[in-house]
Amino acid sequence: MPRVLFLLIALLPGLVLAESAQLRVQGSNTIGAALLPALATGLLQAQHAQAIEQRPGAQANETVINARDGNGKTLRIDIAAHGSSTGFSALGRGEADLAAASRPISDAERQQLRALGDLRAATSEQVIGLDGVAVIVHPDNPLPQLTTTQLAQIFSGQIQRWEQLGASRGPIHLYARDDRSGTYETFKALVLEPQHAELAASAQRFESSDELAMRVGSDRQAIGFSSLASVHGAKVLAVAEGDAPAMLPARALVASEDYPLSRRLYFYLPANAKPQARALVEFAQSPAGQAIVAEQGFVSQQIKAQPVPAQADMPPRYRSLAQQAQRLSVNFRFQEGSASLDNKALRDVQRVVEYLRQAGKLQGKAVLVGFGDTKETPGRAALLSRLRALAVRRELARDGVEVLEVAGMGDELPVAGNDLEQGRLRNRRVEVWVY
């Protein structure tokens, strides 16, 4: 018996090593519930792993994926999807190799994790897809749309009954994600904070988007917000910000980030990331990974050309483009307070170049149209919008793209109000059109 016990003790380190996770990812429930396991499985398949098996983890909203590589070595990926903030905390504690987040890293988190490198650097902050925070109600609710101001009044408790909105009668039941959720952080940043409002204490809170949406779908008095991929039969309302028209979270409007509650989905890599963590990020960015993003109900970053109906109130040059050309499904946006392209835009340059190459449109077929926010000095908005378009032209030119035309539309055709900085940032954009 002592000899058997000795042998078991001697084997224990090897058993623990075999069961330890080669990749640990923590963070967003929006990403981690289904998208992240699908991406991890897709990566393993691309690496020709065998016997891929997915099972629930030790707690709710956790997943374990096991497989074997070509040499028979055990592979394991542990996923914990308890909210975006938990991913950053786990990185700091050394309990995660990669953080998944449905909102950008905060200044405080970036500072706390500076030992891991600059997590806002282009190599660390990776946008893997797009999502719209959908405002959802019961399918029988007749209300078609709300403004962001109305949403702030509803979710802060200033508006408490449906008849105040000219809709159904009765009290409004609020459903919201929990404080660790990136979905909640996005809603708070885009809806509540601009109106100096706080979420009402009466709101029911959920860790899971899926559970929240199912509860809204069964409560006629309900209103909530969830990921676009977790609507589950609830009615989605159009949302308007400022003077811009109300928009539903249609895929094209989320892809261009024109929808007021559009958001980016992120992976955050430490500077000394594991090879398997880097491999997962690169797979997520690849066409195969982006196809999985779309299959899971989110919006991929693959470039598509789409017609835009010409409208009588469009500026003449823009109406001419709508009549003769197609708009690509991407908007270039810029770092806050800078004329430099942001991290997503830098990756999108490569996607646009590849699209133009495959379409045979590298030379003289693309038009860049810049937009901006209102300025007090006459002509300044038009100048700045053109300068933004020229910045994109420079990036494209490095990869052999010769643009046909660069235009600056100034503050025309806003997609958001200009009263708040977040709206002004969204209006500062560059569209790509192709003949």
Separation between Cα atoms, residue 358 and residue 250, nearest integer Å: 26
Kindly state the average pLDDT of the residues 103-114. Answer: 97
Is the pLDDT reported for residue 164 higher than 60? yes
Res 200: pLDDT:
98
| Neighbouring residues of 287: CB distance < 8 A, sequence distance ≥ 6 | 302
Is the pLDDT reported for residue 66 higher than 90? yes
Amino acid type, 270? P
With pLDDT > 70 as the criterion, what percentage of the chain qualifies? 95
With pLDDT > 90 as the criterion, what percentage of the chain qualifies? 86
Q: How confident is the model at residue 20 (pLDDT cuts 50, 70, 90)?
A: low
Res 9: pLDDT:
41
For 309, the token pair is: 């109906």
Q: What is the pLDDT of residues 227-262, one digit of tens each?
A: 998 998 999 999 999 878 899 999 999 999 999 999
Q: How confident is the model at residue 21 (pLDDT cuts 50, 70, 90)?
A: low
Distance separating the N- and C-terminal Cα atoms of the chain:
81
Kindly state the average pLDDT of the residues 114-132. Answer: 97
Secondary structure (3-state) at 131: strand
User: 10 Å Cβ neighbour count for 288?
Assistant: 14
For the chain, give every domain's residue range. 15-127+265-295, 131-255, 303-434
Separation between Cα atoms, residue 22 and residue 222, nearest integer Å: 42
Rounded to the nearest 5°, which phi and psi values hold at 398? Answer: -65, -20
Separation between Cα atoms, residue 216 and residue 232, nearest integer Å: 10
Per the rule left: phi > 0, alpha: psi between -120 and 50, beta: everything else, 364 is left
Is the pLDDT reported for residue 8 higher than 80? no
Half-sphere exposure of 205 toward its Cβ, with a 13 Å CA cutoff? 12
**Tokens 């039941």, residue?**
173
Q: What's the CATH code, domain 15-127+265-295?
A: 3.40.190.10
| Neighbouring residues of 329: CB distance < 8 A, sequence distance ≥ 6 | 252, 255, 256, 302, 303, 304, 305, 306
Q: Assess whether the region 15-127+265-295 and the region 303-434 belong to the same CATH fold.
A: no
Q: Where are the alpha helices (DSSP H) in 57-172?
A: 84-93, 107-112, 148-155
Is the pLDDT reported for residue 124 higher than 60? yes
Bridge partners (DSSP) of residue 257 are none
Q: Rg for the chain (alpha carbons), in Å?
A: 24
| Closest by Cα among 310, 300, 312 to 256 | 300
Domain made up of 303-434: CATH architecture: 2-Layer Sandwich (3.30)
Kindly state the average pLDDT of the residues 206-217. Answer: 95
Is the pLDDT reported for residue 17 higher than 60? no
Residue-averaged pLDDT of the chain: 92
Torsion of CA 295, 298, 301, 303, to 10 degrees: 70
Is the pLDDT reported for residue 115 higher than 70? yes
Written out in words, the top-level CATH class of the domain with range 131-255 is alpha beta
Is the pLDDT reported for residue 362 higher than 80? yes
Separation between Cα atoms, residue 324 and residue 82, nearest integer Å: 48
Q: What is the pLDDT of residues 405-432, one digit of tens each?
A: 999 999 999 998 888 888 888 899 999 9
Is the pLDDT reported for residue 338 higher than 80? no
Bridge partners (DSSP) of residue 205 are 176
Q: Are 268 and 105 in contact (CB under 8 A)?
A: yes
Q: How confident is the model at residue 81 (pLDDT cuts 50, 70, 90)?
A: very high
Cα dist. 412→13, 26, 259, 310 in Å?
A: 66, 42, 17, 15
- Residue 125 is inside which H or E element, if any? strand 125-137
Kindly state the average pLDDT of the residues 98-123. Answer: 97
| Neighbouring residues of 29: CB distance < 8 A, sequence distance ≥ 6 | 61, 81, 82, 83, 177, 181, 183, 207, 208, 209
Res 252: pLDDT:
93
Separation between Cα atoms, residue 198 and residue 152, nearest integer Å: 8
**Tokens 């378009």, residue?**
389
In this prediction the pTM is 0.88
Provide the angle, in degrees to the nearest 10, between the axes of the packed helices 343-359 and 380-397. 60
For 352, the token pair is: 């646009």
Separation between Cα atoms, residue 210 and residue 196, nearest integer Å: 28
Separation between Cα atoms, residue 262 and residue 253, nearest integer Å: 8
Separation between Cα atoms, residue 200 and residue 198, nearest integer Å: 6
Q: What is the pLDDT of residues 376-401, one digit of tens each?
A: 887 898 999 999 999 999 999 999 99
Q: What is the pLDDT of residues 262-313, one digit of tens each?
A: 999 999 999 999 999 999 999 999 999 999 999 999 999 999 999 999 999 9
Kindly state the average pLDDT of the residues 134-139. Answer: 97
Is the pLDDT reported for residue 13 higher than 80? no
Q: From the centroid of its chain, how far is CA 211? A: 20
| Neighbouring residues of 125: CB distance < 8 A, sequence distance ≥ 6 | 104, 105, 119, 266, 268, 343
